[in-house]
Amino acid sequence: MDTMLGTRLRAQQSSSQNGQETSPWTSGLGMKLEAVTPFLGKYRPFVGRCCQTCTPKSWESLFHRSIMDLGFCNVILVKEENTRFRGWLVRRLCYFLWSLEQHIPPCWDASQKVMESTGVQDVISGRAPGGAGEGQVPSSVKKEVQRILGHIQAPPRPFLLRLFSWVVLRFLNCLFLNVQLHKGHMKMVHKAAQTQGSPLVLLSTHKSLLDGLLLPFVLLSQGLGVVRVAWDPCACSPILRALLRKLGALFLPPEANLSLDSSEGILARAVVQAVVEQLLVSGQPLLIFLEELPGTQGPWLSALGQAWLGLVVQAVQMGVVQDAMLVPVAITYDLVPDACDTHHATAPRGLWTGSLAVLRSLRGWCCGPRVCARVHLAQPFSLQEYTINSRSCWGSRQTMEQLLQPIVLGQSTVVPDTEKEQEWTPITGPLLALKEEDQLLVRRLSRHILNASVASSAVMSTAIMATLLLFKHQKLLGEFSWLTEETLLRGFDVGFSGQLRCLVRHTLSLLRAHVALLRIHQGDLLVVTRPGPGLMHLARLSTQLLPAFLSEALGACAVRALLASKVPPEGPWELQGIELLSQNELYRQVLLLLHLLPQDMLLLQPCQSSYCYCQEVLDRLIQCGLLVAEETPGSRQACDTGRQRLRAKLLWKQSGDFTDSDSDSDDFEEAEGRYFRLSQQSRCPDFFLFLCRLLNPLLKAFAQAATFLHQGQLPDTESGYVEQLFQFLQATAQEDGFFECADRSLAIKAVWTFRDLGVLQQKPSPAGPMLHLSPTFARQDNQEKLEQFIQQFICG
C-alpha cells in the first residue's frame, strides 16, 4: 500500500485524476490477512511502575509479577453473567440490573464536621487573621461557612448515582467500541487501598470533558466506590454544577482565590481545607486533573489541579491522616469524542448545551466506526515517602535567560552546570497559602505524577498512522508494524491489537475526515492527506508518539546541530558519517536543546538531573544503532567503566558528600576522549530523519517566531502578540505547505519561551501588562543570532 502526502491542493487534484476517491471499508484491500506482530512475539510491556529513586518502598511492596499476566477487561461490556440473575428478560435489562447491584457506600452529610474542624473554628473565633474577632459576628460567619460549603459539595444521592451509572453505561456503549482497563493495574490499586489503609488520591491527565464522567464510572464499576471528582467550575453552568455535586463532584469556591489578607479568602480556604481533610479521613477516593484540556489558551499544567493537590499535601503534613496513596491515571482515545470539543473548553457547559452536544456526538459517531478508549492506572505510591525522599534531590536553578542568552549571543560557550527554572502555571490562592518550600514540593510532585501518567499511556493506532502520513512513509502496512514494534521496544504500550490489514483499514476510517483514499491499479490505495486543518489535526495526533521517542529525538536534533557546522546539511549520509562526534560536544548540544524546549513538553522527572538525562540520550542513540563508538589512539575504551578513577576519587568520600560540582564536572572531564560516528547501516538515514521531524513543528514555530520579531507590532498585550504570531504562522504555512506549526498552542509556547529567554519583556501599563522587545534583541544582528541558534537543530 502506497501513501503520498499532498501538502498543496493542486497536488491532491492532480492525484485524483488517476484514481477515484473511495471509502476505507470498500477499499479493495484484499482478503489475505497479515497478523500484526506487536509485543515481540511474547508479551506487551507492563507499564506504570512508580519511581524507584523517590519511592523505593512503594516500588517494591505494591507490586507483584503475577499481576502482569492478568490481562485486560472491557469495562463497558456488561452481560447476563455480570448480574445475579439469569433469563431472557435479564439479558435485555442487564444494564439496569447491573447498575442496581453496584455497591455504593452510605454518604453522610459532613457539614457538621467541617464546621467543627480546627481551621474553621479558628476563623470563627477570631484566632486566625481575618476571623470574627476582627468585627464580624460569629452567627453570620457560620451562615457564610454553610454557603461556601454548599458551593463546594453536596451529599451524594445513591438513587442519582445508580441512575447516572446506567445512563453512562448505555451512552458509552453507543460511543465506544470498548473501554479497556488492565486488571493488574486495578489489583495494584486495590492492594494499596487494603494493605496501607490510606485514602486514595487519583491524579489524572485530561484529554476531554468526558473524562470527568468516564473515570468515576470505571472506578465505581471496579469496586472503588463513589469517587469525588474535583471539577473546574468555569467549565459548567450553575445548573450543571448543582447536578454534579449530587453525583459527588467538588468545586473550588471563587473566594478561595482572593488575596491572602482577605477575610473572605481566609474563610473560604479554611472551609476547602476542612472538606479535603474530611474526605481523606472518611477514606473516599479523590480524583484530581493535573492537566488543562487540550486547546485551552494557557499553561498545560492545571493551576486548579495543583491547588487541590496542595490541599492534600497540607492535610498529610498536618497529621490529619498519616499518609495518602497517590495513583497516576491516564486516559487515551483513538479520537476525542465530539461531545467534548476542546476548542470550546473555555465556554461553560449547561444541561441543554451538554445534551445537544451528546446528541450531535451520537449522530456523528453512529454513522462511522466507533473508537476505542484505554484507562491506565499506574502503580500507587506513598505521599509521605515521596515528601521525605524528594527534598534531597533539590539543587540550584537558574532562569532560562541566565542559562541561554549569553550562548545565543555568542558571549559565552560554557553551559552552566545547573538546572533550568521555568514555571508557566500560575499559583492560585490555596497554593499561595502554603510555605514556599511546600509550593515547590507540590509543583515538582505534579510534574512527577504527570511524567508517570504519560509514561503509562498507550499509543493509539491513530497516532501511529498520523505520524506515518505526516512523514511521507511509502508503505503503510510494513511501516505501521515497524513503528508499533519500535514503540513497544521503548517500554510504551499500544492501545490496539489484531490483524494488520484490519487495523490499518479501521484507522484510516477513523481519519476519513483528514485523508482521501484513491483507488489505483491492482486494487491498491493511494492515501492523500487533506491540506490545511487536516494536516494540523494529524500533527496533534502524532504528538502522542513523542514521549516514546523523546530521548532519541533530542539526541538526533543535537547530532544535527553538531554536524551543521562541519558538513553541508543536505550532504550524503556517508559524508556525515566520516565526522567524529565528541561526547562532550554531544552533551553540550543536548543541554542547550533541553534548556530551549519548554519543561511542560519535556516533563522530565524532577529527581533526574539534566546531565544524567544527557547520558540517557546518548545511551538511547547507541542502543538504537544511530551512533557507534570510535576508539581513538591513546583514549580509554568506551567499554571501560573507570574503576581506577572511582576508587581514587570517590570511594574515600563520606556519605552525602557528593556535591554537584564534584560529580557532574568530573563526569564531563571523563567524556573528553570518547568519540562517536553515525552508523552506516541502510536504515539509519530514514530513522534519523524520522526522529528529527518529531520536534520539527515546535522548533520551526520558534524559528519563525524569531523571524517575526522585526515584523511584529510591539508593544502589545500578550494575547494580542500571540494572535499576530499565529496569523504569521498561518500565512507562512500557506506559502511553504508546512501546516504542522500553524497551531495557536505553538504560538503561545514560542511567545512564553522568548519571554523567559529575555527576548520579550513584560512591563506594566495602565491598560495592563504589555510585551516589549528587549533592547538587546532590538538589534537585527542579535535577532539573526537567535534564529541561527534555533535553526541548527532543525532537520529539513
CA distance 737 to 72: 42
Give kind and range of the element (H or E) at residue 615: helix 610-623
**In this structure, are residues 685 and 572 in contact, taking their beta carbons and an 8 Å threshold?**
no
Q: Tell me the per-residue pLDDT of 385-437, one tens digit each, with 9 for 90 and over.
A: 999 988 766 677 889 999 999 999 999 888 888 888 888 888 887 888 888 89
CA 320 to chain centre: 31
Q: What is the pLDDT of residue 368?
A: 62
Q: What percent of the chain has pLDDT over 90?
A: 41
Q: Tell me the per-residue pLDDT of 140-195, one tens digit each, with 9 for 90 and over.
A: 777 888 899 999 998 888 888 988 889 999 989 888 989 999 998 999 999 888 87
Strands 325-333 and 200-204: parallel
* Separation in Å, CA 499 to CA 15, 38, 73, 502, 503: 29, 10, 20, 5, 6
**In this structure, are residues 589 and 410 in contact, taking their beta carbons and an 8 Å threshold?**
no
Residue 541's nearest CA partner among 553, 529, 551 is: 529
Q: What is the pLDDT of residue 223?
A: 86
Q: Tell me the per-residue pLDDT of 475-494, one tens digit each, with 9 for 90 and over.
A: 888 889 899 999 998 989 99
Confidence grade of residue 196 (pLDDT, cut at 50, 70, 90)? confident
User: What is the mean pLDDT of the segment spanning 193-212?
Assistant: 90
Confidence grade of residue 654 (pLDDT, cut at 50, 70, 90)? very low
> What average pLDDT does the structure give for the chain?
81
Q: What is the pLDDT of residue 642?
A: 44
- Entry pTM: 0.87
| In the predicted structure, residue 26 carries a pLDDT above the cut 90 | no
Q: What percent of the chain has pLDDT over 70?
A: 81
Is residue 229 helix, strand or coil?
strand
Q: What is the pLDDT of residue 568?
A: 67
Give kind and range of the element (H or E) at residue 382: strand 381-382
Q: What is the pLDDT of residue 240?
A: 87
Residue 323's nearest CA partner among 334, 331, 312 is: 312
Give kind and range of the element (H or E) at residue 331: strand 325-333
CA distance 100 to 571: 69
* CA end-to-end distance (rounded Å), the chain: 26
Q: What is the pLDDT of residue 299?
A: 79
Domains and CATH numbers, the chain: 64-124+141-334+366-389 (no CATH), 697-792 (1.10.10)
Backbone angles phi, psi at 299, to 5 degrees: -65, 155
Neighbours of 52 (CB within 10 A): 11
* Separation in Å, CA 703 to CA 169, 596, 725, 774, 790: 48, 12, 12, 18, 6
**In this structure, are residues 133 and 125 in contact, taking their beta carbons and an 8 Å threshold?**
yes
| In the predicted structure, residue 443 carries a pLDDT above the cut 80 | yes
